[in-house]
Structure 1
Amino acid sequence: MSSDQSDWNEPTLGFLVHDVARLLRKRLEQRARAAGIGLTRAQWQVLAYLARSEGLNQTALAQLLEIEPITLVRLIDRLEAMGFVERRSDPRDRRQRNLFLTEKARPELARIRALGAEVREEALTGIDQAERERLMATLSVIKTNLQRSSSLGEDGREREHG
């Protein structure tokens, strides 16, 4: 086997991170189905992002979730019909609607968080606390590096906004 071929067999950071994230999502979905949680992964994500940043408008939330605004509108419509999310008029701009969790959503979100903690513990079995902390710190540095470089243009200079 040539060295070019063996290079393709070596896991790269991108593939490994993608595979780990995919497997975490898959395992959480399995656990949620078994627990009788009647929400989709996309719906959990909306609730989780809203829990972090209540009062966002739909455009800002769609950007955070990296989904099309029309896709988010459908998700919000369903979550609102289920009684988990409410749209409120923005006091500064009546044309804009801001999103908030309802009290009914909070226990469901707590169940999902608990399942997430169990899945994370499953994934981290055999990894001691110091290694876990090092892993999180390293991933945080990688995230920061990529956020910083994604704000740069192709020429390496800061992009102008506005």
Structure 2
Amino acid sequence: MRNTGPEDDSYIGYMLSDVARLIRTIFDRRVRDIGLTRAQWLVLTRVYRRPGVSQTELAEMLEIDRASAGRMIDRMERNGWVERRPDRTDRRINRLHLTDEARKVHAAMWAIAESTVDDALSPLSATEREQYAELTAKVKGRLQNLAGAVP
């Protein structure tokens, strides 16, 4: 690996950060056309992937405090996108679930996400895309291990 310094834009750390930021920026712009903010699409994605997540767990996933998560969930509940259901074993906990309307919005959002990634990866061949995905998964796994997270 070649030696790079903090002023070198080709440093892998800068490139990883820039790629993630640029994909989010482009995706944000595209989902804004269907009326979603970044906070909303993040909540929709997390609750879609983890139906029944608690407000506390959602706050941890979003790396925000519980009060901020609560306000966001309140707004999304008023808009008819998220519903709170009581936990079966602990009445102090509400479990979050997407409404049918939110699932429709998520489907539209997912189509935009796929086209954004396809556009980003368009300079790569099918083989390069596969290699990129495999290498990225290895790095992600290592980082999850270092962070003590369960993959």
**TM-score, normalising length from structure 1?**
0.84
Instruction: Provide the residue aligned with 2:115 in structure 1.
Output: 118
Instruction: Provide the residue aligned with 1:32 in structure 2.
Output: 31
Indicate the structure (1 or 2) with the bigger Cα radius of gyration: 1
- Any unmatched runs of 5+ in structure 1? 153-162
Report the Cα distance in structure 1 between the residues aligned to 2:141 and 2:120, rounded to whole angstroms.
Answer: 24
Q: Compute the displacement of 1:14 (Å).
A: 2.2
Report the Cα distance in structure 2 between the residues aligned to 1:134 and 1:99, rounded to whole angstroms.
Answer: 36
Report the Cα distance in structure 2 between the residues aligned to 1:77 and 1:13, rounded to whole angstroms.
Answer: 40
Q: Compute the displacement of 1:13 (Å).
A: 2.4
CA displacement, residues 46-70 of structure 1 (integer Å, 9 cap, x when unaligned) = 1111111100101111111222212
CA displacement, residues 114-136 of structure 1 (integer Å, 9 cap, x when unaligned) = 11111111111121111111111
Q: Partner letter of residue 82 of structure 1? A: N
Report the Cα distance in structure 2 between the residues aligned to 1:87 and 1:138, rounded to whole angstroms.
Answer: 38
Q: Compute the displacement of 1:87 (Å).
A: 0.5
- Any unmatched runs of 5+ in structure 2? none
Report the Cα distance in structure 1 between the residues aligned to 2:39 and 2:49, rounded to whole angstroms.
Answer: 16
Q: Secondary structure at the match of 1:94?
A: coil
Instruction: Provide the residue aligned with 1:56 in structure 2.
Output: 53
Which ranges of 4 or more aligned residues in structure 1 deviate by more than 4 Å?
Answer: none
Q: Compute the displacement of 1:29 (Å).
A: 1.6
Report the Cα distance in structure 1 between the residues aligned to 2:71 and 2:17, rounded to whole angstroms.
Answer: 27
More displaced stretch, 70-79 vs 91-100? 70-79
Q: Partner letter of residue 36 of structure 2? A: L
Report the Cα distance in structure 1 between the residues aligned to 2:15 and 2:68, rounded to whole angstroms.
Answer: 28
